[in-house]
Amino acid sequence: MSVDDFLALPDNVRAEFVDGVAIVTPPGTWEHQGVALVVAMALKSALPDLTVATECGVRTSASSFRIADVGVADVTPEGRFAETPPLVVVEVLSTSTRSEDTVRKSTEYAAVGVAQYWIVDRDAGSLTAYGNNGAGWDVLLELDETQQQGRVEIGDHGPVELDLVSILAG
């Protein structure tokens, strides 16, 4: 499939596109979406002047388009897929997408210039926030059973306070 064919798909087709292949995925479970919503609300509450969205499209290369569970941008993107990299991308891991989210998407998001990449792992009971150092990711914050609250600075936009128990409760 060409990029133009992919972009011509109807809005109700939920799919990512990687190097000529459309990857059709159903929406996440209610629990998955609940976690994404809590993270999005924490981000929007802390950063009211930024655009925060769930299920947001991100163009990661000339031939790749991804759907992030949550995205934060300083300018509201036009269309379905942001052409300018978001400040923050959040993925809530699912069994079926775990390796895609932690390996392939991670690499694509870093390469395109996403400033921060957060991974929420419901199975492990953790949230890890990574910062893009230009050559990969540095850990900015790790929340788990030993540290359940923390703060992440979003560039010069300010801090976001996170509570893992609330996030995982969805």
Q: What is the pLDDT of residue 108?
A: 94
The domain ranges of the chain are 27-169
pLDDT band at 82 (very low <50, low <70, confident <90, very high): very high
> Which CATH code fits 27-169?
3.90.1570.10
Mean pLDDT, residues 102-131 taken together = 95
Q: What is the spatial distance between Cα 98 and Cα 119, in angstroms, rounded to a whole number?
A: 10
Contacts of 103 (CB under 8 A, 6+ apart): none
What's this model's pTM, rounded to 2 decimal places?
0.91
Please classify residue 119 by burial: count the beta carbons closer than 10 Å to its beta carbon, then call 0-12 exposed, 13-18 middle and 19+ buried: buried
Q: What is the pLDDT of residue 98?
A: 83
- Report the percent of the chain where pLDDT is more than 90: 72
Please classify residue 76 by burial: count the beta carbons closer than 10 Å to its beta carbon, then call 0-12 exposed, 13-18 middle and 19+ buried: exposed
